[in-house]
Amino acid sequence: MVLPQKLFNDLQGIKGFNKPAFIAAHELAAATSVRINPYKDIGLFTANEKVPWCSNGVYLKERPVFTLDPAFHAGAYYVQEASSMFLEHLLNSVLPDKKGLRVLDLCAAPGGKSTLIAGLLDKDSLLISNEVIRARASILEENMERWGYMNTWVTGNDPRDFGRLTGYFDVIVVDAPCSGSGLWRKDARALDEWSEANVQLCSERQQRILADVWPALKEDGILVYATCSYSPQEDEDILDWLASEYVVQSLPVEIKEEWGIVAVNSSKGMAGYRFFPDKVKGEGFFIAALQKKEDADELRPVRFKTAHDKKIQQLAGHLLKDNDLLFIKDKENYCAIRPGHETDIHLLQQAVYLRKTGLKLGSPAAKEWLPDHEVALSIDANTSLPGINADREQALRYLKREDMGIGDLEKGWLVVKYNGLGLGWVKSLGNRMNNYLPKHWRIRMDIDTSFL
């Protein structure tokens, strides 16, 4: 891998940069790591080496074909490079009490940081997972459905739109679009596309994104800023820019020396954390947290009549574990939300488009309720719903939308489960069944099930 001299020029004198070691690390393959879903923990990878800064992160010895693992499709874990998992340590350090928070993950697709944040929040908190690029927002939505949390909602807005939600969020995470030098080992295209001009463009865009979303952070709220770029123009310089534009307080966190993470200070004394692949078992990454120390306008309270629909609760309530939920119709979807979150719909809708609100329940038909796919994947699904325990081959057949080869079943809607985790629905007619896996979730890969 031939690395650009121009990046080396920018990194000269940066704390922790060791050119020969950096070059040598780029001759090695990136490590594979995954993060277990804490609410779908079925005891996978328990003997594996742990990611030291993330309670649910583990390294895998080699990269398997994840598509062939039904547990992956069930949302039991998320494949994420290890440096990014430092977000858990950062959030736990600056926010030990994470109750009833409103959190925005502004640049969220495909969902690595959002799935991590969701696992740290209590059920009264709300995570708004946003992605401006439409095709990527669909992938984000699918990944968040698979992860299975009712209090993670998905929006597809430009950062500017959030600026109207003044003082609404307790935490905003900006995992900014960047020049991507930290990912060269995983994506050689990012190396071909790298240029000084692009670093400059990214730096300007990062400032624009932050300026747009800044009004939405409340006073004393926390901003987490991250990139996968080594360039100081996208890292320390952005922290300095924030410190010059706004009243902020840097939030340094404790790290262990053996982790190999480099703690840096920007010229204005803002703390940040840089990950070099020759020092950590992970990819290039930069992250920092700071607190807003200036007034933020408050949103005007909204008045509304609850949309809770008891009839929907009667028809669909059996699908879920809890009965203290609200059952509402949001646009064309019937969904369940936590009682404390109805106000949020009204507040958010003033500024942004909600792609996914709460848990989609499905829809009423003549004589039955047609359950949404999302219910089968939800951690809030009623565990005593009728189901089928599929082995790996049957589960993969289901995920390919093929005949699972199981006959003689009770009639009705059944959740297909793998190791106790829901994968989706089938409707059994006794001697045969219809596969209700949404077409766009189908595994397209050819699988020779004879060797499974």
**Rounded to the nearest whole angstrom, what is the least distance from the CB of residue 181 to ligand SAM in the complex?**
12
User: Which residues, in sequence order, are CB contacts of 276 under 8 Å at separation 6+?
Assistant: 16, 17, 18, 21, 22, 25, 230, 260, 262, 284
132/316 with CB nearer ligand SAM: 132
C-beta of residue 108 within 8 angstroms of C-beta of residue 136: no
Q: Answer yes or no whether residue 284 interacts with ligand SAM by CB under 6 A.
A: no
Q: What is the contact mask toward ligand SAM in residues 152 to 191, using x (rule: CB under 6 A)?
A: -------x---------------x-x--------------
Compute the distance between CA of residue 242 and CA of residue 236 in angstroms, rounded to an integer. 10
Contact 282, 31 (CB under 8 A): yes
Shortest Cβ 177–ligand SAM spacing (Å): 4
**Structure tokens that stand for 373 in this block:** 């796919």
Q: Is 131 in the site for ligand SAM (CB under 6 A)?
A: yes
The footprint of ligand SAM on this chain (CB under 6 A) covers a number of residues equal to 17
Is the torsion defined by CA of 407, 409, 414, 419 positive or negative? Answer: negative
- State yes or no: residue 235 binds ligand SAM (CB under 6 A): no
How far apart are CB 395 and ligand SAM at their closest, in Å? 26
Regarding 1 and contact with ligand SAM (CB under 6 A), the answer is no
Of these, 28, 133, 188, 201, which contacts ligand SAM (CB under 6 A)? 133
The amino acid that residue 103 corresponds to is V
Rounded to whole angstroms, the Cα distance separating 165 from 58 reads 37
The distance of closest approach from Cβ of residue 381 to ligand SAM in the complex, given in angstroms and rounded to an integer, is 25
Binding mask 77-116 for ligand SAM (x = CB under 6 A): -------x----------------------xxxxxxx---
Residues 158-183: b if buried by 16+ CB within 10 A, e if exposed = ebebbeebbbbbbbbbbbbbbbbbbb
The rounded Cα 191 to chain-centroid distance in angstroms is 25
Task: List residues binding ligand SAM (CB under 6 A).
Answer: 84, 107-113, 131-133, 136, 159, 175, 177, 205, 209
